[in-house]
Amino acid sequence: MIARTNHADPRQLLEERARSLMLPIWWIDGAGSVVSKAAGWNALEPWLHAPALTESMMAAAASCGDESEVCELSPGCWLVVLPANQNRSDDHRCVTLVFTEEFLRSPLFASICRSGGASEVIMRAALGPIVRSGRTEAEHLAKVLAWMQRDLVEVVHGAHAIENFSKQLVDTYEQMSLLYRIAECMNGLEDPRGFVHMACDLLQDTLEFRWIGIRFTSLRTLGRGMTNELILSGEIPCSHTRFDRLAGELALMPGIDDRPIILEPHAHELAALVNSETFVNPLICNNNLAGLLLAGNKGGEDPDISSVDMQLVSATADYVGAFVHNSSLYSEQRTMFLGIVRALSASIDAKDRYTRGHSERVAHLATELALATGFTEEQAERVRLAGILHDMGKIGVPEAVLLKPGKLTDEEFDAIKRHPTIGYNILKDIEPLEDVLPGVLYHHERWDGRGYPHGLRGANIPLLGRILAVADAFDAMSSDRAYRPRIAREKVLMEMRSGAGTQWDAELVKAFLKLDFSKYDSMIDRHAAQSAHAA
């Protein structure tokens, strides 16, 4: 934030400068009355504030025009009157007094002393240092003061203009920054609720509203439970339930989707509930009303809702509307994509009844292992996908080989060994699956380099391939196969332990053995029941 300063009044600056020139300053209004007496003169003030002096000045000033003027009060004493400041709304004029030695011996001087209760001798001595040479000097001083006044007004106005410009710059920066930050988060299509919360929080941080809220309608495309939901940032000064009900009713009001409106507390129930002007902006999603963005209880220096507030709230509403639309499209695409992936995986299972559910179980185990070894939820979801698709290539292996109960010939085993490469080739051109390909291609590699298809060794095997290898082997041993029944859990675990560091990554096996297999076991039972039913 740029620091905002308070600038002095040009009048005050003029008084300070005039005092340094030994010129007392009075201010008179348009009617000629003294509104501010010369200040800061200590011992001279009884004389400067004397009623006789004030009266004489007022009488003389009343006869002065609008221009800078020097008029004689008495011989050797002149009143210098500066014009009212043309750039300001007030009509106050600045007045100063210039006198010669002659004046200090005049009857007017004596009468001023008397009316102020001041000694002539003392005042004469005190005023000595500010005695001038004559009318010519008075006229020069009048010019100097007039220039000074004009320059000070311009300087102060310039300072105000810079301050306002700085403020606008700060505001604009904050607005741009808000919109940039919102736009930056618009890629996170998987989490629309998180995005909406973030947009409300950012808006509330930037503007002075005590609360910002979005009340969604029942628009079907909103999905993911956001329909009719109220998302709030800040504190509303009333019950959430009542606010939610009134905001929901407002969203049903005819014409509410036309344009933003400001609700007044005396005219609308919701604004009365929060006891504040409330700004309401429709949230349009693919030409349908998806909700309302509401903002109220504005605080700060200016409690009125400004055009900047409205613009920012509207821009944010546009972003949220576009985001919600994109998010629903993304969600539809994702659902469709996962449906296709599951259909592909089911087609492999259908080909080999002995491996029914194998892909799903491997996906489950690999996901659990990934989470146990520090993967994020998002990364683990990709591991799940790799698990579902890892045996995709079996679609290219003859059923006679897949279902053969006895020992395989070398040719048959070669056909089996081709399935990682076949799966890779089937999926390699599908861009959203790019990151799962290493899992498909390398899930039969071994830590000791004796695996296939490339015989990679140790950490050269991509991690996804190593994770799937552990999950795949565990499930292969734990389920019935064409050539043998399932192996008991204890024996499977023993095999895993003995293969750690030769067949599999030892670190992964260590983490795998600590997993809870209860969900896996119920999957095995479910798939076995389905197989029995199908048979």
Residue nearest to Fe ion (CB): 391
CA distance 197 to 511: 36
Cβ-based nearer residue to Fe ion, 73 or 473: 473
The Cα-based distances of 208 to 142, 239, 361, 487 in angstroms read: 48, 21, 53, 67
Report how far residue 31's alpha carbon sits from residue 92's, in angstroms, rounded to the nearest whole number: 9
Contacts of residue 411, defined as CB under 8 A and 6 or more positions apart, other chains included, come to: none
Shortest Cβ 351–Fe ion spacing (Å): 13
Q: Can you say whether the dihedral through the CA atoms of 379, 433, 422, 482 is positive or negative?
A: positive
169 burial level (CB within 10 Å; 0-12, 13-18, 19+): exposed
Least separation, in Å, of the C-beta of 410 and Fe ion? 18
Q: How far is the CB of 501 from Fe ion (least distance, A)?
A: 21
Q: Which is nearer to Fe ion, 360 or 391 (CB)?
A: 391
Q: How far is CA 198 from the centre of its chain?
A: 7
Q: At its nearest, how many Å lie between Fe ion and the CB of residue 380?
A: 20
The SS3 call for residue 145 is: helix
Residue 434 C-beta: closest distance to Fe ion, Å: 20
Query: What is the DSSP track for 293-314?
Result: EEEEEE-SS--SPPHHHHHHHH
For residues 271 and 237, the answer to whether their CB atoms sit within 8 Å is: no
Residue 248, H or E segment: helix 240-251
User: What is the smallest separation between the CB atom of 309 and Fe ion, expressed in angstroms?
Assistant: 60
Residues that bind Fe ion (CB under 5 A): 391
CB of 472 to Fe ion, least distance (A): 6
- Report the nearest approach of Fe ion to the CB of residue 457 (Å): 19
Tokens of residue 407, six digits: 């020992």
Cβ within 8 Å of residue 202, ≥6 positions away: 178, 181, 182, 316
For Fe ion, give the closer residue by CB, 69 or 445: 445
Tokens of 358: 């194998």
Around 413, how many Cα atoms within 13 Å sit in the side-chain half-sphere?
7
Q: How far is the CB of 358 from Fe ion (least distance, A)?
A: 9
Q: Which is nearer to Fe ion, 181 or 418 (by Cβ)? A: 418
Q: 391 or 475: whose CB is closer to Fe ion? A: 391
> For strand 93-99 and strand 278-285, is the pairing parallel, antiparallel, or unpaired?
unpaired
3-class DSSP assignment, residue 217: coil
CB of 184 to Fe ion, least distance (A): 41
C-alpha separations of 442 from 64, 124, 333, 376, 454 in Å: 101, 109, 28, 22, 8
36 or 421: CB nearest Fe ion: 421
- Between 349 and 391, name the residue whose CB sits nearer to Fe ion: 391
Rounded to the nearest whole angstrom, what is the least distance from the CB of residue 417 to Fe ion in the complex?
10
Closest CA to 363 of 389, 342, 340, 339: 389
In contact, 283 and 309? CB cutoff 8 Å:
no
